[in-house]
Amino acid sequence: MISTGLVTILVAASASLFMAWAIGAGSSGSTPFAPAVGANAISVMRAGFYVGILGFAGAVLQGANVSEAIGAELIHNVTLSPLAATVALITGATLVAIGVFAGYPIATAFTVTGAVVGVGLAMGGDPAWAKYRQILALWVGTPFLGGGVAFATARLLRRTTRDRVTIPALAGVVGLVLANVRFVVLGPPAGERSIAAAIAQALVGGAPLVEAVAGVVFALLVAAVVRWDVGRGVAAAQRRFLVGLGSLVAFSAGGSQVGLAVGPLLPLLGEAIRIEFVLVGGGIGLLAGSWTGAPRMIKAVAQDYSSLGPNRSIAALIPAFVIAQVAVFFGIPVSFNEIIVSAIVGSGLAVGSGGVSRSKMGYTVLAWVGSLALSLAVGYGAYLGVETVL
């Protein structure tokens, strides 16, 4: 006979896989390449294919921080039970799936965070106010930071005619950020290390000054490669740079969004299954969602929100990559729909408000706020109701 506890865990794992699929079909699968698709740098179907593979890689290599935060840092003095994890995952996944099929980008991080907090409170847990303040700061700051940087970058690209200088310089900034991104494969056992830190470790045992120099050299190399590519043709180089940026954002999306799917499972599994294997399972779910459901949302974000050109797409993807990596580093669940849409709007405002659908944005913001409140209330009530029945 199979025990009730094992059945509950299997149901929770199934809910987690469904959540991963919904995320892959929604935010992490649709938004990273949306600006590149809007600029005609890559087709919708090819973008969906690439984002699945890159999201899987990001989930496995960078997914631990956010997963652990979702599983253990959103509520105090209780540990999520199999029933609570199942209710939270089903609540969040259902709301995200509704957004996918309705064509509106529901903020995945809002729904999952609200659902986990709701069931945690229903279990008798205490609010994790310090973590909530940290999360709220990033959520509120994202539209201003992402939109502001995108606006400034789009204005810079629009006003200057020296694309052979501006685009490589922006590539160098991206390279500097990339050099300091932490990867599991570069770190010691049960740790992470950045490209710059790995170079410094290999050369002199990890001196901070050498690490800083290595980061700058890496950024200069990236800028030099893009400068060489721009010299062969600006338009083609713009498209390749866009695809590269989309790839980085897709990778970052996997590292952030997988935690929303597998985080609630971690307290249930304990030490029985290593987190690396859990992340692989979540990554497979993201990949499946990206390949089967992402094209619909890619089209919605790329075409319905703004008519993008290459420069505005570049302006949107650069802050998206930076914000995503900040969220991964601090273990903060963040919505990629919020990041990308805010950046698209910011880059659109650089050429006037005509390129941005205000009514669409209004509905989207209401969906973001409503999804957080609704998921918290539904998670709380559903847990109490199911617990009473069982």
Q: Is the pLDDT of residue 217 over 80?
A: yes
Residue listed under structure tokens 């199934």:
14
Smallest CA-to-CA distance from 275 within 109, 11, 62, 28 is with 62
Residue listed under structure tokens 């990890």:
206
Helices (H), 26-81: 27-30, 34-38, 44-62, 64-72
Q: Is the pLDDT of residue 175 over 50?
A: yes
**Lowest mean pLDDT across 6-10, 178-182, 386-390:** 6-10
At residue 232 the predicted structure's pLDDT band, cuts being 50, 70 and 90, is: confident
Which tokens go with 78? 């209780």
Helices (H), 123-160: 129-159
Per-residue pLDDT tens over the stretch 291-309: 887 777 777 666 654 466 7
Q: What is the pLDDT of residue 177?
A: 93
Per-residue pLDDT tens over the stretch 348-360: 777 765 455 666 6
For 170, the 3-state DSSP assignment is helix
At residue 205 the predicted structure's pLDDT band, cuts being 50, 70 and 90, is: confident
Across the range 344-372, mean pLDDT stands at 72
Residue listed under structure tokens 């669940």:
333
Smallest CA-to-CA distance from 278 within 267, 262, 264, 294 is with 262
Question: What's the Rg (C-alpha) of the chain?
Answer: 21
Alpha carbon 187 to its chain centroid, in Å, reads 22
Helices (H), 263-274: 266-269
b (16+ CB within 10 A) / e for 40-78: ebbebeebbbbbbbbbbbbbbbbbbbbbbbbbbbbbeeb
Q: What is the pLDDT of residue 354?
A: 47
> What residues pair up with 160 in beta bridges, in sequence order?
none
